[in-house]
Structure 1
Amino acid sequence: METFPYRRVEQVKAKVTIKDVARRAGCGIATASRVLNNSGPASADVRSRVQKAAQDLGFSFSALGRALQSSRSMTVGCLVPSLANPVFAEAVQGLQTVLAGTGYQLLIASSNYDGAADNDAIATLIAKEVDGLIVTMVAPEHSAALALARTRGIPVALMFHDPVAGLPSAHVDNGAAAREVARRFGDLGHRRTAFLALRFASSDRSRNRYAGFLAECRLRGLPDPVLIELTETEANTPERLAQTLAALPDLTAIFASNDFLAIAVQKAARLLGWRVPRDLSVVGFDGIEIGRLLDVPLATIETEPAAMGRQAALTLLDLLQGGAPVQLPPLPFTFRAGATLAPPRADRRDDDRVAPRPPSVLSLKTDLKQG
């Protein structure tokens, strides 16, 4: 890793903060943090100015830690729904990259998508006197524990959530991404589509994706997509999901609210004897790496979870240095074509015809046992 001059300074003045460096360099605090921590892009000119300002002022992140040690715990609390989901694990890695070298330690909690567990975890982190919070949770705008944190002056940054009033969030535009999926479906001739979701009522990300998908379908004069809300059992049991799909035999394309659900759809389709994408097109959301490794690589909206983590951490560092909450633009997304998206079969594209109902899951199981 490149070593900058400011790291070689032995005598520092505790009163110097990163805000002083940013002011002298003529840039924002988040930009100065990225340069000094070597954790994000910056132009050569800005990088040079920040490094010179830090050297002139005798600033280092370790000096920041010593300056604040007496009045702060130098810990940051992080709450995510699950670390088993690689999307959230990558985001945590991203924020750890930024916090490394700042003197802050990360305390991590997970809630398994449970609102009560969210509040309990945040209450515990508050009790441990964290200096700031970075969270992804069920409903930040309605969380009593999060409201308590804000009342106590604890800075909060969100990840993955669309912006919430007063809480800056590192996110992608879920509605815009979902519109892109609807455009892809429409351009290929799909009319009978569905949106598949788990925890729809408690996930603002899922609801906003559906809203964007629905809006673009209506804009194109397409029928409203079917909203399929799965239970945990249905999502985790291919046979149960196959039963759900079997009840909707005229569907030609499904947009799943995350990649794991999209992969589950492919499994359920195989149980019904459907081939993806010949009989059913499937698109996911997130762009997890395993989707590339499938026999039929998954078409999906690809995001950058690590970048979300880095942006959330930089935002929180800015808040910890006294900056005002500023909502940054959404992070970019891309559509990864994969191989699970194709035009619908002719006999499924004609509005006046309905494809034959596939065999039931029960008959499939019987056939397998007899075979």
Structure 2
Amino acid sequence: MQQKTSVTIRDVAQAAGCSVATASRVLNKSGPASAEVRERVERAARDLDFSFSSIGRALQSRRSMTIGCLVPSLANPVFAEAVQGVQSELKDSGYQLLISCSNYDETADNAAIETLMSKDADGLIATMVAPDRSAALRQAQQRGTPVSLMFHDPIEGFTTAYVDNFEAAREVARQFVRLGHRRIGFLALRFSTSDRSRNRYAGFCAECRARGLPDPVLIEIGEAEASRPDSLAAILNDHPTLTAIFASNDFLAIAVHKAARLLGRRVPQDLSVAGFDGIEIGRLLEAPLATIETSPEAMGRQAARSLLEAMQGQVPIQPPALPFHFRAGATLAAPNPE
């Protein structure tokens, strides 16, 4: 009897030759697995006399069965889709998601983490201003709470679900240069507080330098300019020689499109524009937006998988970057001849 109760899900996974997360999904019937893997797991569970109810006891011991999820905003469809991916991956796992938004504020980030921890969240999934210097996030780790990040490039001490922002931005630069653009700008919102925006600019610069071009002009704007086409038009008017602009996200790229129209500049004939994220509304514009297309939903799923594996005792392993695709759209063209 003693031997029976000491059998764990880890023993089943080892006998079946799969991960703990896979064994849990099979026995919980909570996720996909091939017929061959499913048969191995179920046979191992039978051979070890592992009770299906043992999963519930293991999960419920010393746990609140909640996971905290912190994102900057749900108004941005990129983060909303990622949260949907998290929820899809957690389906039938028994965990409830506690969602918090910080509005891109570092102080609010830390306060949200502290609140989620006060509610005894068993794990955390987060997109933050600065996770690498977040005292609250480090305290959560010190308490033994598993943490999985989304959207951030790899940071020591954390697993993250991400797209390689540096390489994706290099692809945008290649597309611009291929068409003959040499006077190029990078438009950024929250540049000082977004590692994603900074890494995109770094990759953009690296590819321009590799092709003998000067660093792109960095144009930093605030919330007011981003939300007011006339204000953004005034800023663009200060850079009349630019023939192409890479905006750090699709919303900014769409705003550039509108601001250029106010200046009487046609997109893409007078100004080429590209964005980042691949939000669906970009496809619906009269001139579909050129952009780096990603899958926030897949990002959320990956972050949730990594967290569940950590919560089940697996040693965290950084997954590879998720794929991206350059969508040509109709806002990118060769510059007008001099």
- Which residue does 1:236 correspond to in 2? 227
Which stretch has the larger CA shift, 79-88 or 55-64?
Answer: 55-64
Alpha-carbon displacement from aligned partner over 1:127-168 (angstroms, at most 9, x marks no partner): 001111000000001001101101111110000000110100
Tell whether 2:11 aligns with 1:20. Answer: yes
Partner of 2:147 in structure 1? 156
User: Match for 1:171 among 162, 176, 181?
Assistant: 162
List aligned pairs for 1:304-343, cutoff 5 A: 304-343=295-334
Counterpart amino acid of 2:235? T
CA contact (8 A) 1:37 1:98 kept: no
- 1:251 paired to 2:256: no
CA contact (8 A) 1:30 1:315 kept: no
The 1:180/1:45 distance shift into structure 2, 3 A limit, reads farther
1:15, distance to aligned residue in structure 2 (A): 5.9
Q: Matched residue of 1:346: which SS?
A: coil
> Alpha carbon RMSD of aligned pairs, Å?
2.1
In 2, distance between residues paired with 1:312 and 1:193?
34
- Report the alpha carbon displacement of residue 20 of structure 1 after superposing the two structures with TM: 3.2
Q: TM-score, normalised by structure 1?
A: 0.85
Contact 1:33–1:314 (CA under 8 A) maintained in structure 2:
no
Q: 1:65 Cα shift?
A: 3.3
Return the offset for 1:337: 1.0
Give the Cα–Cα distance (whole angstroms) in 2 for the partners of residues 231 and 68 of structure 1.
45
Task: Kindly provide the CA deviation profile for residues 317-348 of structure 1, in whole angstroms up to 9, marking residues without a partner as x.
Answer: 1110111121111010011111111111112x
State yes or no: 1:104 paired with 2:95. Answer: yes
Tell me what 1:193 maps to.
Answer: 184
Q: Is the 8 A contact 1:62 1:101 kept in 2?
A: no
1:147 and 2:138 aligned: yes
Equivalent in the alignment of 1:284: 275
The 1:124/1:62 distance shift into structure 2, 3 A limit, reads farther
Aligned-pair CA distance for 1:14: 7.3
Query: 1:286-301 residue pairs with structure 2 within 5 A?
Result: 286-301=277-292
Q: Distance in 1 between matches of 2:278 and 2:51?
A: 36
What is the distance in 2 between the residues matched to 1:212 and 1:128? 40
How far apart are residue 49 of structure 1 and its match? 3.2
Query: Is residue 72 from structure 1 mapped to residue 41 from structure 2 by the alignment?
Result: no
1:67-121 CA-partner distances (Å, limit 9, x unpaired): 3324111110000000111111111111111111111111000000000000000
CA–CA distance in structure 2, aligned partners of residues 180 and 38 of structure 1: 40
* Contact 2:30/2:92, CA 8 A, preserved across alignment: no
In structure 2, stretches of 5+ residues that fail to align are none
- Whole-angstrom CA distance in 2 between matches of 1:132 and 1:82: 20
The match for 1:222 is 213
Does residue 202 of the first structure (1) align with residue 193 of the second (2)? yes
Q: SS of 2:108's equivalent?
A: helix
- Partners of 1:14 and 1:289 in 2: CA distance: 51
- Structure 2 length-normalised TM: 0.93
For the 8 Å contact 2:149–2:158, the answer to whether it is kept is: yes
When structure 1 is superposed on structure 2, of 72-81 and 16-25 the one drifting more is: 16-25
Q: Tell me if the contact between 1:172 and 1:333 (Cα under 8 Å) persists in the aligned partners.
A: yes
Residues 1:47 and 1:64: Cα distance change in structure 2 (over 3 Å): closer
Q: 1:181/1:290 Cα in 2 relative to 1: closer, same or farther (>3 Å)? A: same
